[in-house]
Structure 1
Amino acid sequence: MQAEGAPSPFGGGSDRVMRRVVFAAASAGILIMAFILIFLAANGLPVLREAPLEQILFSTEWYPTEEPPAFGMAALIAGTLSVTLLSCLLAVPAALALGVFTSEAAPRRARDFFKLMLELLSFLPSIVLGFIGMTVVAPWMQESLGAASGLNLLNASLMLGFLMIPQVASLTDEALASVPRDLRDASYALGATRTETVLKVVFPAAARGISAAVLLGVMRALGETMVVLMAAGGAAVLPSLLTDPVRPLTSTIAAEMGETPFGSAHYHALFFAGLLLLLMTLALNIVSMRLERKGMVK
């Protein structure tokens, strides 16, 4: 037994050390993010000397190598948002259902198997999915849907959705598993069925973890490069159909940065595209924090 008056090995000085370690880690993360933001702004904002902000944001004319160059990114922004939104609509319901199944309904052996498969699929290289989209899904879409090109918005969204499902489902399973068993037992004792318990007790109790899982999935789709580079079609146009080709910001940066002269207007325009991506990600985080503060996410 610990002698009376002796300092606890888990209190006092060790608490201060842990607080300092956590504070240092958090500060380092904030500094790194600030450095990235400043770096992108320093290299991206000079493009505003070549074209006004309104033209960059609302024009669909993306011809950075022409004379005179055109830096309209509206089609690129629309491609990014449309691919992200459609992939989320396809993947999030399936991922949540899979997470609920593995946590609440699957037998233990089946749960262990599904968890292992989800963990393995989470490490699947995105370039593999892009290759599948090019060689398998694209020809099927041309034959079955009559699409002019199988490399389009729907193809890229399907591949992105498949990339999101393992991550969102695995984190959803962990969030649901963290809910105390007592809540479930109390619900059953009051006569609730398993479905009612999951939907009205367990799911609301795990809402914070589930919302974080969905947010991570959305940001993964927003920042993904190889899948959209290989499967989206690469046309800088505003999509009107699911089978229209698109060109998101990420694939534009990946495709053009390697051949762009250093310090040119085109170079600064690509950095400005990266700045827009970062601002979109920050906006998602801010919206999530606002919803949480208002009590909409509990």
Structure 2
Amino acid sequence: MSKRMLPKRRLENVGLTLTGACVALVALIVVTLIVMVAQQGLSAFLVDGLDFGQFVTGTSWVPSDGKFGALPLIVTSFGVMLLSTLFTLPIALGSAIFVVEVRPGFGRKVFQPLVELLVGIPSVVYGLIGLTVVNAAMRAIFGEAAGTGAGILSGAIVLAVMILPTVTTLSIDALAAVPNQYREGSYALGCTRWQTVWHVVLKSALPSLMTAVILGMTRAFGETLAVQMVIGGVEKIMPAGLLSPAATLTTALTSGFANATTGSIQYHALWALGLLLMGMSLLFILIIHLIGSKGAKDRG
């Protein structure tokens, strides 16, 4: 082996060592977080004797009275997440079609950068806008039925705006990744632009579009501050409707830890909520990987 090859080999070994150390560090952090949350969360059931079935299905969350029924928080979290996704999806998909298929020049140079600017706006700003604009609009539209305007519907509207840049940007990338040969083949068969978009482009990009939607749902499911400012924070009972004040898993966590004593059953119950929240996030990530694997097999 020549002397010139030795420094290159050493440099390569140093690079492999550094990258391997980075991978090991990230893996250690992830495992540590999972173990820590699981240890604290499971203590509510293994140490404090909290019944898991009652915890998941109970309809009253009043820690001061020893009631730890998380079902209202779970229902509200999923309700806000699904509603915000329902509001966002048509707008994001229509915007993506406009940018990629209708006006790509204007879309890429003007519209997409404007959408991406929304990502940099802090959550507290969205919360303030929701508190002053969305809640006021709810009172103006629904009158006394809306109460203060805080509720599930207000939270869903604010979240829809917050996840719109994520879903839109990923949808644009998904449509742009469809090979032009597919479009040209469709046009050659006499299909119109809309027929090509509907039957060819969207169908080919479906796995990536589903990934974009699920990533948006994951963001919505874990959002805290903005939702806490507009949803009302009432967590004792099941919400009676979309206009009812309520609380999500994340808002209950942020408001509950301020009054929880370390090592108490309330403290561990809040960690159990965190464990439940983490489990749902991991489930969403697993679904994304499954969709990606299926899409790769279909393309293959």
Give the TM-score band, short-chain normalised.
Answer: 0.7 to 0.9
Q: Cα 1:297–1:41, aligned 2, differ >3 Å: closer, same or farther?
A: same
3-state SS in 2 of match to 1:259: coil
SS at match of 2:121: coil
Q: 1:29 Cα shift? A: 4.3
CA distance in 1, matches of 2:153, 2:21: 43
The residue number in structure 1 matching 2:270 is: 270
Normalised by the length of structure 1, the TM-score is 0.86
Greater helix content: 2
Identify the residue that residue 229 of structure 2 maps to in structure 1: 230
How many residue pairs match? The answer is 286
| Other-structure match for 1:138 | 135
Please give the alpha-carbon distance, in whole angstroms, between the structure 1 residues aligned to 2:243 and 2:43. Answer: 36
Tell me: CA distance 1:202–1:14, structure 2 relative to 1, closer, same or farther (3 Å).
farther
C-alpha change, 1:157 and 1:42, in structure 2 (3 Å) is same
Asked if the contact 1:223–1:250 (Cα under 8 Å) also holds between the matched residues in 2, the reply is: yes
Give unmatched runs, 5+ long, in structure 2: none
Contact 2:261–2:267 (Cα < 8 Å) also in 1: yes
What TM-score comes out, normalization by structure 2 length?
0.86
Structure 1 SS opposite 2:258: helix
**Deviation for aligned residue 1:258:** 2.9
Shift of 1:155: 0.2
Contact 2:207 2:291 (C-alpha < 8 Å) held by counterparts: no
Are the counterparts in 1 of residues 60 and 67 from structure 2 also a CA contact under 8 Å?
yes
Query: Is 2:88 the counterpart of 1:91?
Result: yes
Overall identity of the aligned pairs, in %: 35
Find the counterpart in structure 2 of residue 189 from structure 1. Answer: 188
Q: Is the 8 A contact 1:149 1:243 kept in 2?
A: no
Other structure's SS at 2:266 match: helix
Match of 1:4 in 2: none
8 A Cα contact 1:211 1:297, kept in partner: no
Question: Which runs of 5 or more residues in structure 1 are unaligned?
Answer: 1-6
Q: Distance in 2 between matches of 1:83 and 1:172?
A: 21
Give the whole-Å Cα distance in 1 for the aligned partners of 2:38 and 2:215: 24
- Partners of 2:98 and 2:104 within 8 A in 1: no
Name 2:44's counterpart in structure 1: 47
Residue identity matched to 1:269: A
Q: Deviations over 1:125-170 (max 9, x none)?
A: 1111111111111122112212123010000000000111111101
Residues 98, 107 of structure 2: 8 Å contact kept: no
- Contact kept? 1:164, 1:220, Cα under 8 Å: yes
Contact map agreement 1:154 1:243 (CA 8 A) in 2: yes
Distance in 2 between residues matched to 1:274 and 1:175, nearest whole Å: 32
Partner Cα separation in structure 2 for residue 15 and residue 45 of structure 1: 44
